[in-house]
Chain A
């Protein structure tokens, strides 16, 4: 089970064992033991909330260093559209793209171009009316992973199309191979990423065997070098080929606006996303064809690996795309089939259930309820679990003992003291 790669990592020396990340984790994947936070790998969806909240910077997202591109003869950057919202007074996307070339990339293919293709493909699929409605976007890997471990009834609602980053990587690689004659292994395709979940998706994809990307470089990591390069450009190359639709994917609501219909819903921020998924599962949300969900508040511009405030970045994106054509990329024959998932999204039942054997699970649930009723229900986190209920679950799973609860421990000490007092 632990073969799953995670981009969210701990810097154990910096962790002081506080409860900030514990309380924030949307899948209750963190426990604090012996004064240090641990991530339960099977539950982590790499949303990055713990990185965002940790006051001691003990959580980080592993991404590739820029020097990794030198392993390849031909270096291709595929920047997320969120990158374009990071710069003050930027009025031309080509300045950013030419800047990326100065950092050592030979070719650039904007992910927003692929986003326009995914939007067109989605509209086609909705028109064909073969998909289970409402269709849930597959673009945010943290959301897809969340559905995979927690929402069995919604796995079939996730749109079976590759995310724009994969489509971009595939097309960029193919074009480069055709035009240069180089072999695939000589070409390095690097995603310029706003978030940790995309790094994970490249290493452990949800719906394909292997990603077409060779690595992901954090926006925050290349930002200083990139701004420097952008400040010293002597000429600006005409590289950008995205329209309003593609650039709009950077912020929440952009992908659904590209559906060009009215029956859509867009939610952002992981807690809001969970509420919407619960409502979808209970069929409380009706009359909606398409659901866009982004784990980060504000959408991809709110990713933990960006540098600018999400809402400032979103306002800039609005400005930048104002005078662009609606869409500059359109499906060619064969594209749609190449964009489909290789395998279905399968529910991972083991993550949240107590036991494989339902009878055993019933016994565990009974004792869980008993233990829980005896706990103080303060959800203080001092035991190292995020809530008293999670603590009760840990006890029945053998991961914790009742006296990890400081109130239970106090009771026990008091009773030992009373006994001793009586014997003396």
Chain B
């Protein structure tokens, strides 16, 4: 396990403008590691979408990132309302985002589909009223 970097971020829901800070920080570190640039891009985009989701729907949470030479694993955990119908949430264009968020250009219903598109593995554990854990893996190809 010597070759792993562990990072932890609190994702605050208080300030919407701070969403994307964790993914930005991870991106910077991956660049310092000389990581494969396609993998960096996929991690950054998937994490960003997930962070935005956490802020819009779940009142924030935390994010744990493990960087290995051949893959990046990310857990995004929140204590939000949970996702009632995961299959529906995975459909492109399906969104439950409120209008104020849509006015900023978010909430187009592309969050989860995009995350799936850019990651190699994606797993959702969700319980209504308890929260959601989103596990992501991006492999270096």
Residues of A within 8 A of B (CB): 150, 152-153, 278, 281-284, 347, 349, 352-356, 358-359, 361-363, 365-366, 368-369, 393
Nearest 10 pairs between A and B by C-beta? A353-B34, A152-B37, A362-B3, A361-B33, A282-B44, A153-B41, A358-B69, A153-B37, A354-B32, A361-B34
Task: Please tell me which stretch of B23-31, B78-86, B87-95, B125-133 contacts chain A, meaning at least 4 of its Cβ atoms lie within 8 angstroms of it.
Answer: B23-31
Q: Is A347 in contact with B37, judged by CB distance below 8 angstroms?
A: yes
Contact A361–B48 (Cβ < 8 Å): no
Given contacts A353-B31, A354-B33, contact A281 B5 (CB under 8 A): no
Q: Assuming the A-B contacts A153-B38, A362-B5, A365-B5, are A393 and B45 also in contact, with contact meaning beta carbons closer than 8 angstroms in the complex? A: no
Please report the total number of B residues contacting A with Cβ < 8 Å.
22
A69–chain B nearest beta-carbon distance, Å: 43
- Which residue of chain B lies nearest to A279 when distances are taken between CB atoms in the complex? B20
A355 to B35, CA, bound (A): 11
A306 to B69, CA, bound (A): 48
Complexed CA–CA distance, A355 and B40 (Å): 17
Which residue on chain A has the smallest CB distance to residue B24? A278
Shortest CB–CB separation between residue A114 and chain B, in angstroms? 33
| Bound form: Cα–Cα A349–B45 in Å | 21
- Contact at B33–A282, with CB atoms within 8 Å? no
B32 pairs with A365, CB closer than 8 A: yes
A393 to B34 Cα, complex, angstroms: 14
User: B67 to chain A: which residues have CB within 8 Å?
Assistant: 362
Say what secondary structure dominates the interface of chain A.
helix
| Contact (Cβ within 8 A) B69 A362 | yes
Q: Compute the total of residue contacts between A and B using a CB distance below 8 Å.
A: 60
The answer to whether residues A356 and B34 also contact, given A282-B48, A283-B45 and a CB cut-off of 8 A, is yes
Chain A contacts of B17 at CB under 8 A? none
Given contacts A362-B3, A362-B5, A369-B5, contact A281 B34 (CB under 8 A): no
**Residues in A neighbouring B69, C-beta threshold 8 A:** 358-359, 362
Of residues 35 through 80 on chain B, the ones whose CB sits less than 8 Å from some CB of chain A are 35, 37-38, 40-41, 44-45, 48, 67, 69
**Which of A282, A283, A361: most chain B Cβ within 10 A?**
A282
Q: Are the CB atoms of A282 and B23 closer together than 8 Å? A: yes
Complex Cα gap A366–B29 (Å): 11
Cα(A153)–Cα(B40), bound, Å = 9
Contact across chains for B44 and A361 when beta carbons are under 8 A apart:
no
Query: A359 touching B37 by the CB < 8 A rule?
Result: no
Task: Give the residues in chain A near B2, CB-CB below 8 Å.
Answer: 362-363, 366
Measured in the bound complex, the distance between the Cα atoms of B23 and A284 in whole Å is 13
B-side contacts of A369, CB under 8 Å? 5
Question: Main SS of chain B's interface residues?
Answer: helix
Nearest residue, chain A, Cβ from B35: A358
Minimum CB distance partner of A281 in chain B? B41
A-chain residues with CB within 8 Å of residue B44 when the two chains form the complex: 281-282
- Give the complex CA separation of A393 and B28 in angstroms: 13
Cα-based distance from A103 to B40 in the complex (angstroms): 53
- List B contacts of A361 (CB < 8 A): 32-34
Contacts of A355 in B (CB 8 A): 34
19 other A-B residue contacts (CB within 8 Å) besides A153-B38, A282-B23, A358-B69? A150-B31, A153-B37, A278-B24, A278-B27, A282-B27, A282-B44, A282-B45, A349-B34, A353-B31, A353-B32, A355-B34, A358-B33, A359-B3, A359-B69, A361-B34, A362-B3, A362-B5, A366-B2, A368-B32
Query: Given the complex of chains A and B, what is the CA–CA distance between A158 and B67 in angstroms?
Result: 30
Complex interface: chain A residues within 8 A of B4 (CB): 362
B107 CB to nearest A CB, Å: 14
Chain A residue, CB-CB nearest to B29: A365
| Cross-chain contact B41 with A282 (CB below 8 angstroms) | yes
Please give, as numbers and ranges, the residues of chain A lying within 8 Å of B32 by CB-CB distance: 352-354, 361, 365, 368, 393
Assuming A278-B24, A363-B2, is B48 touching A358 (CB within 8 A)?
Answer: no
- A residues within 8 A CB of B34? 349, 353-356, 358, 361
Task: Report whether A352 and B31 are in contact in the complex, using a CB–CB cutoff of 8 Å.
Answer: yes
CA distance A361 to B37 in the complex (A): 15
Interchain CB contact under 8 A, A365 and B33 = yes
What mask results when residues 110 to 141 of chain B are scored 1 for a CB within 8 Å of chain A, else 0? Answer: 00000000000000000000000000000000
